[in-house]
Amino acid sequence: LQQRRGIRLSAPAAIQVTVRDALNQALDEELERDERVFLLGEEVAQYDGAYKISRGLWKKYGDKRVIDTPISEMGFTGIAVGAAMAGLRPVCEFMTFNFSMQAIDQVINSAAKTCYMSAGAIAVPIVFRGPNGASAGVAAQHSQCFAAWYGHCPGLKVVSPWSSEDAKGLLKASIRDDNPVVMLENELLYGVPFEMSEQAQSKDFIVPIGKAKIERQGTHVTLVSHSRPVGHCLEAAAVLAKEGVECEVINLRTIRPMDIETVEASVVKTNHLVTVEGGWPQFGVGAEICARIMEGSAFNYLDAPAVRVTGADVPMPYAKILEDNCIPQVKDIIFAVKKTLNI
C-alpha cells in the first residue's frame, strides 16, 4: 500500500555477521527445516559447542537432535555414518580435524565409498565439520590442513569457507547434499565479522558446492586460495594495487569438486598464476591447481611459471615467531607476485 502511494521502502541492508554466528544460523535453519538433520560431537549440546557454534541449539531442539558424545571420534563417527545410511542426515563435528584421524576409516572406507560399492543403492548424506589448519599456539598435533588429504578421495565433497556467507551457504548446501561432505572451517575466522547481504540472510540461501567466487577483479595476476589465506590475498592485492599491480583474487570455496574453469578463465585474462594455502607444499591443493592448469588450454596463456605459496614443510612449531614463519603471510604473497611478474 505504501509503495502504491509512492513511498519508497528501503530494503534490508547488509549486516555484519561473524563466521561463528553464520554457522549457528545455518545449523538452526536446517534443523528446523528437516527433522532428519541432527548434530553430534564432543560438547555440542549442554556446553553450546567448544567454539560456541551450536549455541542455543540443544535448548531449542533437545537431546535427540543435538547430542553430546564421549571423547571417541571413531565411535561417534561410526554412529553418524550408520545413521546416514539409515536415512538420517547427521552433522558430525570434530573438535579439530586433526582428531578426525581417529575416525578416518569411517570417513573414507565407510562414508566415501559406500554409494559406489552399493551401486548407488545406499546414499550417505552426512557432513563432517570442524576447524581445520593452524590456529594460534597449539603446536603440531593441532595445526594441520587436511584439504589435500580429503580432497584426494573420490566419493567425498570437500568445502573450505572463508567469509560468513561462504560458511552459511556452504553448510546449508552440504547438509542438503546426498553425498558425504567434509567442511573444513578455520578457528581463527570464527570471531571475524563479514558483511552478509540481504540475500544471504534468507533461509533459502545456499552457496553451490563446486563453484569458486572471484573476490576481486584484476588484470595482471591470478591469486587462488581457500579459507583464511583468502583474506591475506586480498590484503596483498590492496598493497600491490598501490604499486600499479592489479590482482584477481579467487576464493575456491570448494576443494572437491574443484572449479578449475573459473581459474582457467582468470589465467587466460591475467597470464600469471599464484596459489596460496596454509597446508604443506608436497601434493597440496596448489600443486593440483598448477597441474590442472598445465594440462589444460590455459597453459598456453601463461607468461611465467605458476608459483605456489604454502605452509612450511615442517610440523608446526609451538613458538609464535616460528609459527608465523611457517604460515603464509601477506609479505610472502607480495614477494611471490613480484617474482612471477619479474618486478
pLDDT of residue 327: 95
Determine the average pLDDT of the residues in 312-340: 96
For residue 265, is it within any domain? yes
| Domain end marker among 180, 201, 222 | 201
Dump pLDDT digits (tens) for 193-218. Answer: 999 999 999 999 999 999 999 999 99
pLDDT of residue 13: 79
Dump pLDDT digits (tens) for 149-184. Answer: 999 999 999 999 999 999 999 999 999 999 999 999
Domain count, the chain: 2
Determine the average pLDDT of the residues in 323-337: 96
pLDDT of residue 14: 86
- pLDDT of 57 over the 60 cut: yes
Burial class (CB in 10 A: 0-12, 13-18, 19+), 184: buried
For residue 147, is it within any domain? yes
For residue 5, is it within any domain? no
139 secondary structure, DSSP code: -
pLDDT of residue 212: 98
Distance of alpha carbon 114 from its chain centroid, rounded? Answer: 24
- pLDDT of 3 over the 70 cut: no
Determine the average pLDDT of the residues in 131-145: 93
**Residues 144 and 286 grouped into a single domain:** no
For residue 10, is it within any domain? no
Average pLDDT, the chain: 95
Dump pLDDT digits (tens) for 263-286. Answer: 999 999 999 999 999 999 999 999
Determine the average pLDDT of the residues in 237-258: 98
| Domain end marker among 201, 233, 253 | 201
| Domain end marker among 154, 170, 201 | 201
Active site residue 152: no
Q: What is the CATH number of the domain that holds 303?
A: 3.40.50.920
**Residues 192 and 228 grouped into a single domain:** no
Cβ atoms of 211 and 184 closer than 8 Å: no
Q: Choosing from 29, 30, 42, 73, which is the catalytic residue? A: 73
- How many CB atoms within 10 Å of residue 233? 29
Q: What is the CATH number of the domain that holds 182?
A: 3.40.50.970
**Residues 217 and 191 grouped into a single domain:** no
For residues 9-48, one letter each, b for 16 or more C-beta atoms within 10 angstroms of the residue's C-beta and e for the rest, the string is: eeeeeeeebbbbbbbbbbbbbbbeeeebbbbbbbbbbeeb
Determine the average pLDDT of the residues in 284-298: 97
Q: What is the CA radius of gyration of the chain?
A: 21
Q: Choosing from 142, 220, 226, 232, which is the catalytic residue? A: 142
Give me the helices (H) in 216-319, please.
229-241, 260-270, 285-295
Residue 178, C-beta contacts closer than 8 angstroms, at least 6 positions apart? 123, 125
Active site residue 220: no
- How many CB atoms within 10 Å of residue 273? 29
Q: Which residues face 224 on adjacent strands?
A: 250, 275
For residue 7, is it within any domain? no
**Residues 60 and 27 grouped into a single domain:** yes
For residue 207, is it within any domain? no
Pairing type for strands 157-159 and 254-256 reads antiparallel
Percentage of residues in the chain having pLDDT higher than 90: 95
pLDDT of residue 10: 52
DSSP H or E segment with residue 22: helix 19-33
Determine the average pLDDT of the residues in 332-340: 97
- pLDDT of 146 over the 60 cut: yes
State the Cα–Cα distance between residues 104 and 96, nearest whole angstrom. Answer: 13
Entry field: residues in the chain = 343
Backbone angles phi, psi at 266, to 5 degrees: -70, -40
pLDDT of residue 4: 47
**C-alpha dihedral, 238 to 239 to 244 to 247, nearest 10°:** -50
Dump pLDDT digits (tens) for 70-85. Answer: 999 999 999 999 999 9
- pLDDT of 6 over the 80 cut: no
Per the structure block, which three cell numbers stand in for 48?
A: 553450546
Determine the average pLDDT of the residues in 105-129: 97
Owning domain of residue 127: 17-201
Residue 121, C-beta contacts closer than 8 angstroms, at least 6 positions apart? none
Determine the average pLDDT of the residues in 8-35: 88
